Amino acid sequence: MKYPDSNAVPDYNKLSRLDGRGFVVLGGGDGIGRQTCHALAQAGARMICVDREPSLAEAVAAEVGGIPVAGDVTVRSDMIRIFEQARKEFGDTVQGIVDIVGIATIGKIGEATEATWNRQFDVVLRHAYLAIQIGGDLLAARGGGTMVFVGSISGVVSVAKQAIYGTAKAALHHLVRCAAHELGVQQIRVNAIAPGFVRTPRLLERLSAQFWTQVSDANPLRRVAVPADIAAAVLYLSSDLAGYVTGNVVTLDGGMNFVAALPELDPWRSAASPSD
């Protein structure tokens, strides 16, 4: 017996739009943040572009017709000011928060100091906690919304010399899941993206051309991510296309995390091999 789908067919293109919605992008001044501001603005969102460097916030805001705000997102008073400005600028249309802030401290566990540990957790985790706590209240008062955080593949698998960074990112991933659980009843969706290596301006300065070639060669797609790849995923998670997606940590590394650490060689002997 046939049971045809009798549900109404939505306008899927419309579900991808963010027209008139207010978004706050933390760490929006460069790289993934800049591309995310463009992605959301192109979908119709109104933007507050936040960066610690005023000149970066102003430059990106000018590109997307947004509002620049400078602030240290690891400081509670700054975050209260940022979200209060969002409330004043956007009123009841504040519906989205994207948090991209996070810089890796590279080094072995045994070489880390107390200051290194504390600084790494502040720059990866403290602002996310503040965004969920302060920004969550703002979204809840307006009937719900979305939060998207940028985690890391280092929080999923072990990456050399990134143990402390990876531990902080793993904690961020779990914070996202717990926040999705708590805030779901208020119609707030909370998700994260866990990228692999991305060709951001900061990493391009720090890593050699040979490294990028090696990572690309090891990737199933034979390329390394660019900031726009991450911004596109943020746009999806922020839109109504992802209306039933929450508590997810989306691995975005071109498939590298599921590839066995073996050399790219054919392990099977040829049928014509004389050594068979």
Convert 82-114 to b/e letters by CB count within 10 Å (16 or more is b).
bbebbeebbeebbbbbbbbbbebbebeeeeeee
Are 21 and 98 contacting, i.e. CB atoms less than 8 angstroms apart? Answer: no
pLDDT digits (tens, 9 = 90+) for 209-243: 998 899 899 899 999 999 999 999 999 999 999 99
Cα separation, 246 vs 125, whole angstroms? 19
Give 40-43 contacts, CB < 8 A, sequence gap 24+: 40/96, 40/98, 40/234, 40/235, 40/238, 41/65, 41/66, 43/16, 43/17, 43/18, 43/19, 43/235, 43/239
Domains of the chain: 17-254 (3.40.50.720)
The reported pLDDT for the residue numbered 273 is: 47
The reported pLDDT for the residue numbered 63 is: 98
Cα separation, 213 vs 153, whole angstroms? 19
Closest CA to 171 of 118, 125, 205: 125
**H or E stretch at 79:** helix 76-90
The reported pLDDT for the residue numbered 266 is: 60
Are 48 and 22 contacting, i.e. CB atoms less than 8 angstroms apart? Answer: yes
Question: Taking 90 as the threshold, does the pLDDT of residue 3 lie above it?
Answer: no
Weakest-pLDDT range from 107-111, 172-176, 181-185: 107-111
Q: What is the pTM of this model?
A: 0.91
Closest CA to 183 of 215, 150, 152, 142: 142
Return the active site residues: 165
158 phi, psi to nearest 5 deg: -80, 125
pLDDT digits (tens, 9 = 90+) for 92-126: 999 999 999 988 888 999 999 999 999 999 999 99
Cα four-point dihedral sign 177, 179, 185, 188: negative
Taking each continuous run of H as one helix and of E as one strand, the counts in the chain are 11, 7
